[in-house]
Amino acid sequence: MRQARLVSIDALALERLCAEFDQRLRVPSWNGQYHFHDGTRRTANYILLLDALNFSFWGEPRWTIEFGGERLGGYWALAAALKRAIDEGFDLTDAATLPHLEEPQLAHILRGEHTIPLLNERARHAREVGQVLARKYDGQFANLIEEAGYDAVDVVQLVLQDFLSFRDECTYRDRLVKFYKRAQILAADLFGAFNGQTWGALRNLDALTCFADYKLPQILRRFGVLQYAESLATTIDNGLEIPAGSDAEVEIRAATVQAVERLRACLSARGENVRSVQIDWALWDAAQAAPADGKPYHRTRTIYY
């Protein structure tokens, strides 16, 4: 961010958001309404698969599904579609079934209104999940968690080591930048799904950053915290795509992480100890509820968020 030319953080707006945090944002609990959850190791496998496929939902017409009498889109639709498949007898929690999952099968599992973007990449990620779990962890993601000693950072590191599709890295001015959005959200989802117990009893959650995606910068911009250069603002507001790994995209994501860390420090100075993970959840929740006529999110087609 010291080198950024297209994105900046407005310190006064950030202080205002910090002062009004409880009025403008709320930290939600983990919502299991649309997830598969049986409290066993199968749930850990489900969470791994969910976050292996958790990326790039934007586009028109938007992919949605019907579930429990509701029309769902984005992450909730993905979670519910995987749960629906398990309920229908396609056991996606069994690592042995995943290495053979081809695009047509996944298309049926994710059937709904229109087609989810990057279906082929999602099928490839699902196969990787099954292959790695079978080869290294006796088919159980819980074994990786145990090998990591229930440390959130070590869980992230092992996931990055073994599952190539989670390696969310890019180069910015000859420097390697590591965001690891899906690997970190995986650790947070384990904690949430198991309510901090059994395979969710992870320590070191404070070491995780926020999960740099396209919804957090959208709401931070709405709050005035993120400021864009005129050229970038025009690109985003006109719905034009920003290439993955471009300076603009990296700066947006870096500013998002930095803004959340500075917001956490501000809240801590006020005696409110809130994790970056919790701030992320609060901002994401606010972004979901933001008026449709507000500033749009940036559009980058990528497997990482």
pLDDT tens track for 133-177: 999 999 999 999 999 999 999 999 999 999 999 999 999 999 999
Note whether residue 38 is domain-resident: yes
Q: Domain count for the chain, please give it.
A: 1
For residue 238, what pLDDT band results from cuts at 50, 70 and 90? very high
Percent of the chain exceeding pLDDT 90 equals: 96
State residue 293's pLDDT score.
83
Note whether residue 160 is domain-resident: yes
Phi first, then psi: give them for residue 105, nearest 5 degrees: -65, -45
Please list the alpha-helical segments (H only) found in the chain.
11-19, 21-24, 41-52, 74-87, 103-109, 119-136, 141-147, 152-162, 181-193, 215-222, 230-237, 247-269, 276-289
Over the chain, what is the mean pLDDT? 97
Note whether residue 138 is domain-resident: yes
The range of the structural domain enclosing residue 263 comes to 7-289
Note whether residue 65 is domain-resident: yes
Residue 290 has pLDDT above 90, yes or no: no
State residue 29's pLDDT score.
86
For residue 286, what pLDDT band results from cuts at 50, 70 and 90? very high
- Catalytic annotation, residues: 213
DSSP string, 260-300: HHHHHHHHHHTT----HHHHHHHHHHHHHHS-TTSPPPPB-
Note whether residue 298 is domain-resident: no
SS3 call for 8:
strand
C-alpha to C-alpha distance for 30 and 289, rounded to whole angstroms? 17
Note whether residue 305 is domain-resident: no
Note whether residue 230 is domain-resident: yes
Residue 17 has pLDDT above 90, yes or no: yes
Note whether residue 303 is domain-resident: no
Record the tokens describing residue 230, joined without a space: 């005129």
